[in-house]
Amino acid sequence: MRSLDQGRYEVKHLVPLAIRDTMLAAAGDAVIPDPHGRALEGGGSGYIVHSTYFDTPDLMDYTSRLAEHRVRLRTRIRTYGAPGDHAPVFLELKRKLDDQVIKQREKVCDADTWATFGDAPWEHLYEDKRPAVRAIAQRFGSIVAERGLVPWVSVHYHREVYIDVRPDAGRVRLTIDRQITGSTRPNTCDLYPKADFALFPDDLCVVELKFAGTEPLWMRRLARELGLRPEPISKFALTMARALRGDHPHEFARLLPRAARSVA
């Protein structure tokens, strides 16, 4: 399937939003804003992201993340913007293998069309004339059926995106996620549910350095100059813990990045 990534690294940090300008200055001329991004409230350009996550009835994928298993799975639907934007909808199958992320992702339709499909919207794409769409819809539906997956939570955030200027850099990215919120038990047709809670205070943001192969020198320099310390940050797991595991507060505390624990 042409939407299969060969694997990349996603190095994450939770940092004060106040260092955003300093961080971009440290990246210097090595990056430019994603030309496809839109102006975001609060500055910068990028995307408003909405992801609906699935898991088994007994929360096998969440438990796998909590236990820090080497191989972990994510099944999700992603779109952008706001209702009426005709934003694209992507079906995504994501596998974490040690430090690498391998993802199958395909644009299948726009959010307005998706909202008309009814229950199990992906099934409406099984006979789509586009081979790539048909293939990932069938694969997505097969995994949902085989594992008994249901949609548990949605995650929403504003993502600034900066790309490496080198022509041969590939999908090298610096992203800054802010205003990260979560929703409980979404409907698979409604990809824009109202946020129920914030995952982090508004003065914190998640920075991701994404690359395949060797980490670019500018990323190393940026991390060194700002004293960034990478750590695992799972928006999926944190939202699951907050939404569904309120009677086990130690799980949410365990998943919190270091920078958030001091303000929790």
Q: Minimum mean pLDDT among 5-9, 147-151, 208-212, 247-251: which range?
A: 5-9
Q: Minimum mean pLDDT among 7-11, 106-110, 180-184: which range?
A: 7-11
Other beta carbons within 10 angstroms of residue 120's beta carbon come to 13
In this structure, is residue 161 part of a structural domain? Answer: yes
pLDDT over threshold 80, residue 6: no
User: What gap in Å lies between CA 131 and CA 236, rounded to an integer?
Assistant: 30
In this structure, is residue 14 part of a structural domain? Answer: yes
In this structure, is residue 179 part of a structural domain? Answer: yes
Q: What is the CATH number of the domain that holds 99?
A: 3.20.100.30
| Segment 98-117, tens digit of pLDDT | 778 999 999 999 999 999 99
pLDDT over threshold 50, residue 56: yes
Average pLDDT over every residue of 21-43: 95
In this structure, is residue 1 part of a structural domain? Answer: no
Q: Are strands 197-198 and 38-39 parallel, antiparallel or unpaired?
A: unpaired
| Segment 62-91, tens digit of pLDDT | 999 999 998 899 999 999 999 999 999 999
* Total structural domains within the chain: 1
In this structure, is residue 237 part of a structural domain? Answer: yes
Which domain covers residue 168, as residue numbers?
Answer: 8-261
In this structure, is residue 2 part of a structural domain? Answer: no
In this structure, is residue 185 part of a structural domain? Answer: yes
Contact 66, 256 (CB under 8 A): no
Contact 13, 230 (CB under 8 A): yes
| Dihedral over Cα of 180, 148, 119, 184: its sign | negative
User: What gap in Å lies between CA 123 and CA 189, rounded to an integer?
Assistant: 12
